Copies of this chain bind each other. A is one copy, B any other.
Amino acid sequence: MMSPETAGPITKYYYGLPSERKPLLRQSWDNKVYRVARKIKKVGQDDPRRIVHGLKVGLALTLASLLLFYIKPFDLLDEDQNGIWAIMTIVLIFEFSVGATLGKGLNRMVATSSAAALGVGIHKIAIRSSGAGRATVIGFFVFTMGAICTFMRFVPAFKPYDYGLMIFILTFSMVSVAGYQPENWGKNVQDRIVTIIIGSVIAIVVCIFICPVWNGEDLQNLIAKNIEKLGNFLEGFKDEYFHKGEYFPKSEDGQPLDNKPFLKGYKSVLTSKSSEETMANLARWEWQYRFGFKHPWKQYVKVGALTRECAYKIEALNSYFNFEFQAYEFRSKIQEQCKQICSETGKALKELASAVKTMTKPTSVNIHIEKSKVASRKLKLLLDIILLEDYNLREIIPPAAVALILIDVVPCIEKIANAVHELAYLAHFKTPDSILSP
């Protein structure tokens, strides 16, 4: 008999206190099911919009199937086989964000129509011959268009139209090939285009009008959050590094510092390049009332890149937690200016983050940056006049290098601030007065 005390915490939690022993295989299976279930639950908890997205796709599919198969509103859809193209379109284009859905939907509609038109042209050429001749003509065009369009998908300039190119090959091949058997041919092509447009419209409407997920907002939040994480690090670093002399945080194994999440948060900034670029590309498809047609998405990418540059410096700062904290007396000499730089740049970054998030012009950022510049100049002078006789070099390098990196961080933050100011100008950020006044 297995006593309740020996059951793992997970089993206990799942079953309450087990009243009798379960076979080992059963137990491990239960644990596995529980673990998977917990993971799935976490996916929903992390971002509840994912659950909503699932329901939206279900809704769009049900709408399309009821509309096209049950109510049959369009006379032209008499051949019901074509109705499945609406279902297919919805499954293939319905993405999480409005930008991705709109991009795919527009790509699909334009590519389908143009490829169908071209396919009809090829068909007209092909029907002049018959048998082997027709097969040769169609085979030639399918091969050539397939090869060219597939190659074009590698060209960076065509990346936003990648899905369109794929659909173009698909439709063109299908329309041309269907020309082998020309009975009912024109009608079929027409019907399919109409159903594809219906499917696209259903997907786009459901995506936009029920709890929409705007890529533009997500990008804004990501950029703002990344800037904020750097600010959190700098403010936290100040307290951790210059706290007291005997303090040994020792982060190499990550143990004692794990309960200080602000010292780890910036790590995700180091690798967020590709998601920022993808989001900026998708955001361009969103013509949202809030952002307008010509929102400067590229500028967000620029701010993101500068933030990452700064994150590399912070990674370097972080590495000095690995060294033993000695030279207390030396550190206490430079700590005032270092702390000043950390706290002023931290404040500046936090204000920049909130400016990006709320689309408000930053106001006091320049004051903080000026203060940090003053501190940085003072620190430089201080480093010049410190007498070194009494020190051991290896002990004082880490704090001295920290000081030097902090001096180096200041122009980095200034670059981010300038990029955000430019963004505020380009994107017509609000002036804070309009918020303060009632």
Contact = CB atoms under 8 A, between A and B. Distances in A.
Contacts of A176: 65
Interface string A155-186: 11100000000100110011011101100000
Contacts of A142: 58, 61-62, 65
A128 B225 CA distance: 55
A93 to B, nearest CB: 11
Contacts of A316: 312-313, 315-316, 319
Question: Which of A55, A154, A169, A180 is packed against the most chain B CB atoms within 10 Å?
Answer: A154
Contacts of A386: 393
Given A147-B55, A401-B404, A177 B91 contact: no
A172 to B, nearest CB: 10
Given A91-B173, A271-B273, A383 B388 contact: no
28 contacts: A39-B155, A53-B150, A53-B154, A54-B147, A54-B150, A57-B146, A57-B150, A58-B144, A58-B150, A59-B143, A60-B146, A65-B142, A80-B178, A81-B81, A84-B177, A87-B170, A87-B174, A88-B170, A88-B174, A92-B170, A312-B312, A312-B315, A319-B408, A383-B394, A384-B393, A384-B394, A388-B391, A401-B404
Given A43-B155, A50-B154, 8 more contacts: A39-B157, A43-B151, A61-B143, A87-B173, A91-B166, A271-B271, A393-B396, A401-B401
Interface of A: 36, 39-40, 43-44, 47, 50-51, 53-55, 57-62, 65-66, 69-70, 80-81, 83-84, 87-88, 91-92, 94, 135, 138-139, 142-152, 154-157, 166, 169-170, 173-174, 176-178, 180-181, 188, 270-271, 273-275, 312-313, 315-316, 319, 322-323, 380, 383-384, 386, 388-389, 391-394, 396-398, 400-401, 403-405, 408
